[in-house]
Structure 1
Amino acid sequence: MPEDSSPIDFAGLVRKDDLVVCGQATAEPVTLTEALMAQAAQLPPFRMMIGPVFSETFSASCAGNVSFQSYGVIGNSRRLAKAGRLDVIPSNYSAFCADFAARRYKADVVLVQLAELEGRLSASLSNDYVIDAARGARLVIAEINPDTPFTFGAEWPEDVPIHVRVAARRPPVELASTPLDDVSRRIAAHAAGLIADGSTLQFGVGRIPDAILSSLSHARRLGIHSGLINDAVVDLIERGAVTNAEKGIDAGITVTNQVIGTRRLYRFAHENKAVAVRPTSYTHSQNVLARINRLVAINSALQVGLDGSVNSETLNGVAIGAIGGQLDFVRGANASCGGRAIIALPATASDGTSRIVADVETVTTPRADVDAVVTEWGVAELRGCGLAERARRMIAIAAPEHRDALSARLRGPAS
């Protein structure tokens, strides 16, 4: 089916109260989403399901007849959340994807970015919930983008029809690494001490994961099984630090659910049989994660409590983060032979307040699942510790100027 190079007209395609689902992060079909948002004011009211947003497509000025939903607040979707335009579904990423497969969410219109190679189609940069959403959708519109990599594992199923094909007018979204600073480097230096040769890594988006990966060029025989890969993975592979030889499964293959980076990463992933973009039902599966040798989960947080409870979702009652795959991978790493679950964060926020707190306001990862917490001030090993010892260790990695206040909170009011 040839694709149409003319601008798509959504009139009559999007109906009243439709749920429109589009690819997330770098897999956003920008030609389609930009056209939809430009025409939104002339369309009947509809709902839009988005994931992390790294484009400029969605803003608080979008037509008021569009209501937005997401499983978290990541990237530029914070603008929508700040304006009260984003309804957050508090769900683990794996469960969110599974709900599309189980038809708990029923997509009406699906917008997807695909790569094409010799007549074959690939979801390319993300193998998430979009394919399952498309299985039951009334209308699937595919943006065929020649600049996206054809990735293995993400092949578009032949039994899922594409109703409309559109030629991409934009290259895929890119997300460059954030420049490192002294705090992230200090955190990385502490975290690197927990990562042994032969470990398999999982990590997220942001300065701290990038810093930790950058600190591992000396490591050997590392593996990758992650919710995403970025440009730093290419560095590690090219330097020989990543071989994927000791994972226990998927030998020699970097496994990911999403590809989030720049053209360098996209060129690396294109037709690369050593990279598999697998569905969430595989990448985040507890049964799969438990089979991996020495799985090290590296995740960040907004706050960590003195008891080890982790908050990655809200501050002052406002959603500014996500559950994402954190709990999936923390529990998977805990179940892995020789695995480690690392929560890494700066000890203070940008306004100088402590991110090590007496009590978190939202519990993303329960204290029972927490293994090690890392700040620029050191490592708090919490697994197996009682509450009093946990508090002592957490205070020790708080910023020095906040330690007395945290100790006072721990003691309670003077008698």
Structure 2
Amino acid sequence: MSPAQVSLPAPGVPEDVLHHIGPHAEIVIPIGFGEPPTLLDTLEEHAGELDGVRVHRMDPYTERRYIRGEFGSHLRHVDYYLGPGSRQAFWEGQCDLVPNHFSEMPLLLRRLPPDLIIASAAGPDEHGYFSLGTNADYVASFIGQVPFFLEVTNAQPFTYGQNQLHISQVAGYIRSDRPFPQLTRREPTAQDKAIAEHVAELIPDGACLQVGVGSIPDALLTSLSGHRDLGVHTECLSDGLMHLVEQGVVTGARKRQHRNKHVSTFCVGSPELMRWLDRNTAVEMMPVDWTNDPRTVGGEPNFMSINATTEVDLMGQAASETIAGRYWSSSGGQADFARGAMYSPGGKAFIVLHSTTHDGRGRIRSQLTPGSVVTTLKNTIDHVVTEYGVAELRGASLDERARRLIGIAHPDHRDELRFHARRAGLLLGSAGH
């Protein structure tokens, strides 16, 4: 006997979302591909009818009029991680940025509290469930607590985990054929590949991975093709992780939590990745206040966290959200995973960076550039990796830290770093010579 079919209401029109937005409403949108473009178009088209409405989200890919502040107090953007769509607007003072750890986003949003969540979705299936597709992130924590209005698109894969909503939990939905934004991908350089090889040598078989997105992580995942029984418990699931699953390198067989499953809180990548995610029961999308909680991470043995930074000073402070002292992104989950890896039996956290910028400026510095903010504390830092090697800093004295970091700096900058380290009292005696 076939299962009973759920009677589903027909999709509505985009303007229906306006019925759920009152004066001073606080609206939340998922990160990345979770953006509902048609519904956002509708809010902008009717912005003059809105009163003090704020939209809260992380990492917008697309620049929009409301993000640029074109509607004044009618419709305003509040950011929690600057992306291509909001960076310039923030620099020009047109939107807000709230500092945060990614794991604490649901906690911060509950302080508002949210009135409505609008999101992209897949479905509904024959049982009346929608899936948030590429996303769980901070919005999945509000399922059953806050009304959702969904934009169902063919682009969204139907995924599983704790990111599904029943039709009874949805205030309304529309259908659209809007595609995901185009992402640019930079091919790994020789420096990226050298960094990746250094890290790969320190990752044992059976380890559980959290890997960021970018050319260095892409190179690392390629370098791991000879490993066995790796697991995935990550913030963002990408094409590189998909390829390791397909190669049989990632199985999750030695994981303690969600064994044999690949856990993430959001996904970005190619159309191939989207097809692979669709109806893939091996992937579990979980809320960020669970995936990124250092206590969750610490419960997974041999946890390996790999994230990029822009600068590290000789005490081991990593500035990962500013470039040359100017805000570029935000903290994301870097500190969450670095802290969690400290608690994990056999865990390691890697902070990776090129030794210099494109114009030759050193990224390992005697002091961080004025205006830079510390993302990963000196007390939390573990391994720092450049193309010149690995500096293990956990448990090291200030003298040992300075010497090890100078040893992986670009050779052209090492003498100057030693000079400043001695002046600052970081090097004892002749240890820096």
Q: TM-score, normalised by structure 1?
A: 0.91
Q: Deviations over 1:230-289 (max 9, x none)?
A: 111111111111111112222211011111112211111111111100112321233322
Counterparts in 2 of 1:25 and 1:409: CA distance versus 1, 3 Å: same
Task: Verify the 8 A CA contact 1:310 1:364 in the aligned structure 2.
Answer: yes
Residue 404 of structure 1 aligns to which amino acid in structure 2? D
Query: Counterpart of 1:163 in 2: which secondary structure?
Result: strand
Cα distance per residue 1:48-104 (max 9 Å; x no partner): 21211223446536433333222222343322222222322111111122333xx21
Quote the offset at 1:340 in angstroms. Answer: 0.7
1:339 corresponds to which of 344, 347, 372: 347
Question: Structure 1: which amino acid aligns with 2:89?
Answer: L
Deviates more, 1:109-118 or 1:29-38: 29-38
Count how many residue pairs are aligned between Structure 1 and Structure 2.
411
Q: What is the aligned counterpart of 1:96 among 102, 105, 116?
A: 105
What amino acid sits opposite 2:331 in the alignment?
I
Residues 353-380 of structure 1, C-alpha deviation per residue, up to 9 Å, x if partnerless?
A: 2211122332211111111001112111
Counterpart in the other structure of 2:43: 36
Q: Deviations over 1:194-248 (max 9, x none)?
A: 2122111101222221221122112111111001101111111111111111122
Unaligned runs of 5+ in 2: 1-7, 426-433
Q: Which amino acid aligns with 2:24?
A: D
Matches within 5 A, 1:70-219: 70-100=79-109, 103-116=110-123, 117-118=125-126, 119-133=128-142, 135=144, 137=146, 140-158=148-166, 161-173=169-181, 175=183, 177-219=185-227
1:391 positional shift:
0.6
Secondary structure of 2:160's aligned partner: coil
The answer for the alignment partner of 2:412 in structure 1 is: 401
Measured at CA, do residues 300 and 410 of structure 1 come closer, stay the same or move farther in structure 2, by a change above 3 Å?
A: same
Shift of the 105–81 alpha-carbon distance from structure 1 to 2, 3 Å rule, reads same
**Which one is further off, 173-182 or 184-193?**
173-182
CA contact (8 A) 2:105 2:289 kept: no
Per the TM alignment, residue 328 of structure 1 is displaced from its structure 2 partner at its CA by: 1.1
For 2:229 and 2:141, locate their aligned partners in 1 and report how far apart those are by CA, in whole Å: 35
Pick one of 49, 56, 64 that aligns with 1:49.
56
Name the SS of the counterpart of 1:349 in structure 2. coil
Residues 1:364 and 2:375 are matched in the alignment: yes
Give the letter for the 1:302 counterpart. T
Q: Which moved more, 1:222-231 or 1:202-211?
A: 202-211
Q: Which residue of 1 aligns with 2:385?
A: 374
Q: Could you tell me which of 17, 29, 34 is aligned with 1:27?
A: 34
Instruction: Tell me which structure has the larger Cα radius of gyration.
Output: 2
Identify which range, 105-114 or 254-263, moves more after superposition: 105-114
| 1:296 CA drift (Å) | 0.3
Q: AA paired with 1:36?
A: L
For 2:3, the equivalent position in structure 1 comes to none
Question: How much has 1:13 moved relative to structure 2?
Answer: 4.9
CA distance in 2, matches of 1:81, 1:387: 36
Code of the aligned partner of 1:262 = S
Q: Cα 1:402–1:41, aligned 2, differ >3 Å: closer, same or farther?
A: farther
Deviations 1:144-174 (A, max 9, x none): 1233111111343449732121112302345
Whole-angstrom CA distance in 2 between matches of 1:381 and 1:144: 47
TM-score, scaled relative to structure 2: 0.88
The answer to whether the aligner puts 1:270 opposite 2:281 as a matched pair is no
Distance 2:116 2:52 in 1: 14
Distance in 2, matches of 1:114 and 1:285, equals: 25
Over 3 Å counting, the alpha-carbon distance change for 1:363 and 1:218 in structure 2 is same
Give the CA RMSD over aligned residues.
2.4
